[in-house]
Chain A
Amino acid sequence: SYELTQPPSMSVSPGQTASITCSGDKLRDKYACWYQQKPGQSPVLVIYQDNQRPSGIPERFSGSNSGNTATLTISGTQAMDEADYYCQAWDISTGVFGGGTKLTVL
Chain B
Amino acid sequence: EVQLVESGGGLVKPGGSLRLSCAASGFTFNSYTMNWVRQAPGKGLEWVSSISFSSTYIFYADSVRGRFTISRDNVKSALYLQMNSLRAEDTAVYYCVGRNPPADYWGQGSLVTVSS
Known: A42-B95, A42-B107, A100-B45. A95 touches B50 (CB 8 A): yes
Interface status of B26 (Cβ within 8 A of chain A): no
Q: Told that A93-B50, A93-B59 touch, could you supply 7 new A-B pairs with CB distance under 8 A?
A: A1-B62, A54-B102, A84-B44, A86-B45, A88-B45, A94-B59, A97-B45
- Mostly, the B contact residues are strand
Q: Which of B54-81 contact A (CB under 8 A)?
A: 57, 59, 61-62
Which of A1, A48, A84, A96 lies in contact with B101, CB distance below 8 A? A48
B104:A97 contact, CB within 8 angstroms:
no
Q: Which of A75-98 contact B (CB under 8 A)?
A: 84, 86, 88, 93-98
B95:A45 contact, CB within 8 angstroms:
no
Report which residue of B35, B47, B102 has the largest number of chain A beta carbons within 10 angstroms of its beta carbon: B102
Measured CB to CB, the closest approach of chain B to A59, in angstroms, equals 15
* Interface residue total, chain B, C-beta cutoff 8 A: 20
Cβ–Cβ < 8 Å partners of A24 in chain B: none
Cβ–Cβ < 8 Å partners of B50 in chain A: 93, 95
A-B contact pairs, 29 of them (CB 8 A): A1-B62, A42-B106, A42-B107, A42-B109, A44-B106, A45-B102, A45-B104, A48-B101, A48-B104, A52-B101, A52-B102, A54-B102, A54-B104, A55-B102, A84-B44, A86-B45, A88-B47, A93-B50, A93-B57, A93-B59, A94-B61, A95-B37, A95-B47, A95-B59, A95-B61, A97-B37, A97-B46, A97-B47, A100-B45
A74 to B18: give the CA distance in the assembly, Å: 40
Which of A44, A45, A95, A99 lies in contact with B44, CB distance below 8 A? A99
Interface positions of A (Cβ within 8 A of B)? 1, 35, 37, 42-45, 48-49, 52, 54-55, 84, 86, 88, 93-100
Cβ–Cβ < 8 Å partners of B57 in chain A: 93
A45 to B99: give the CA distance in the assembly, Å: 10
